[in-house]
Structure 1
């Protein structure tokens, strides 16, 4: 690689995408690749999925892979060190990880279910941000975008396992925006509604009767559920300099369901 190529790469934005193996995470990676990002994509166990994604994006984007277990602080630190060693500066941290959950009522939710989802989503995000802040500060101008849920703004019965941990993610994002803005770090949250991907697809096909979902669809002012690509558009916007004066916000992308 020539010096000019190295200089050109150094000017490109970089993103660490945590949870890039899922349907939404993959869509976010594809959208960031379209914007010219160099990507470091993490996975917990689905290396095959991210290998396929790297192959898909390889012709247009520089893609690196790393294993990260959000329940293991040592794993988070190790993966952060790999990302820092790969990029001279980290422009963006994207948190798109999640747990495949059912939708029990609170009365029927077991303690181990709470423990799992809070450990991965709430504590995992907190430890991730703590590990990433030194690199983000060193960048001089950086952004964090977390994935929350519309259910923290319009609670529907059965959503506690999703909404409660994501409320912590949303609050942590706001806290980072308040405390780290002086270091040039912006932090925002995207709160998707029901989408035709990932957990949204699973719930539609496995958990409830189709008639229930048709009723739910009619509650959405736009009369449809969202697509992963539409959530990815919101993430890409908030990550970029196009949102350079936006921080501490939650962008709800739910077709108006919460209105």
Structure 2
């Protein structure tokens, strides 16, 4: 049987050998699954997280970085470029979350709590994209994938106002950068996961629901189950691959059909 590579004379679209991939929030959950998928596809993978990781794929180099410090975020991008001697080919802006917060009425939300969630989600994405832009523009190629959420398209299951607002803003930044970076051959897209039990925060969220509410959430999914971190990772690899070479400024909901 003739393979795709033989028919087209090109490398397989999901072969990332020779490419540099940077993944924020790479220690757990989506980020870990994404980093491991890219490593398995042959990429040189660099991850960062607020905490280090002691296990996982040894092919993933992980640094401890607080991405709410924009200078630290820029320094990490520069360090990856220095290590490889080239621009980053694929940047995955996955770092985010609710920063340990819970659902509260808006009038009880403190300034510092609001600012922390916006910084973790929107601020980190801004800082990483800004830092990677110059190298990608010089190379006149690259793919940036942001991880938003179904909360970027509607109210959030978390009930956390800052999280929903920040994810909407990340989607807006994604679309804006797709137009700004497009002339340089850089594609910018977003994956929007549905609810996935993938880290301590989502496990706490799930446990906070009554059995009836848990059943409602699952029943609202057309596939009648929750997704996995690896299913989110596979969508990211699609956006980063040559299969998506003319896909730009798009959001892909990976939620099982809601």
Scaled by the length of structure 1, the TM-score of the pair is 0.86
Say which SS state the counterpart of residue 70 (structure 1) adopts. coil
Match of 1:145 in 2: 145
After superposition, the C-alpha distances for 1:145-188 in whole angstroms (9 at most, x for unaligned) are 01001122232561423211011111111111001111110000
Match of 2:92 in 1: 94
Match of 2:73 among 67, 71, 76: 76
The root-mean-square deviation of aligned C-alpha atoms, in Å, is 1.8
2:33–2:233 contact (8 Å) kept in structure 1: yes
| Cα distance, 1:241–1:105 mapped onto 2, change above 3 Å | farther
> Equivalent residues in 2 for 1:39-58 (5 A)?
39-44=45-50, 46-47=51-52, 49=53, 51-53=54-56, 57-58=57-58
2:27–2:62 contact (8 Å) kept in structure 1: no
| Cα distance, 1:239–1:83 mapped onto 2, change above 3 Å | same
Provide structure 2 residue ranges, at least 5 long, that are not aligned to the other structure: 1-15
> Equivalent residues in 2 for 1:184-203 (5 A)?
184-198=185-199, 199-203=201-205
2:147–2:192 contact (8 Å) kept in structure 1: yes
2:17–2:42 contact (8 Å) kept in structure 1: no
2:17–2:43 contact (8 Å) kept in structure 1: no
Question: How many residues were matched structurally?
Answer: 238
1:90–1:139 contact (8 Å) kept in structure 2: no
Say which SS state the counterpart of residue 52 (structure 1) adopts. coil
Scaled by the length of structure 2, the TM-score of the pair is 0.86
After superposition, the C-alpha distances for 1:194-218 in whole angstroms (9 at most, x for unaligned) are 112123323112x222321111111
1:21 aligns with 2:27: yes
Say which SS state the counterpart of residue 247 (structure 1) adopts. coil
> Equivalent residues in 2 for 1:232-251 (5 A)?
232-251=233-252
1:174 aligns with 2:171: no
| Cα distance, 1:107–1:142 mapped onto 2, change above 3 Å | same
| Cα distance, 1:238–1:40 mapped onto 2, change above 3 Å | same
TM-superposed CA distance for 1:73, in Å, is 1.9
Q: Hey, what's the Cα distance between the residues in 1 that align with 2:178 and 2:216?
A: 37
Q: Deviation above 6 Å: which 4+ runs of structure 1?
A: none
After superposition, the C-alpha distances for 1:17-58 in whole angstroms (9 at most, x for unaligned) are 1110121110111111122111111122x21x2x312xxx23
Q: Hey, what's the Cα distance between the residues in 2 that align with 1:241 and 1:131?
A: 24
More helix per residue: 1
TM-superposed CA distance for 1:67, in Å, is 2.9
Say which SS state the counterpart of residue 190 (structure 1) adopts. strand
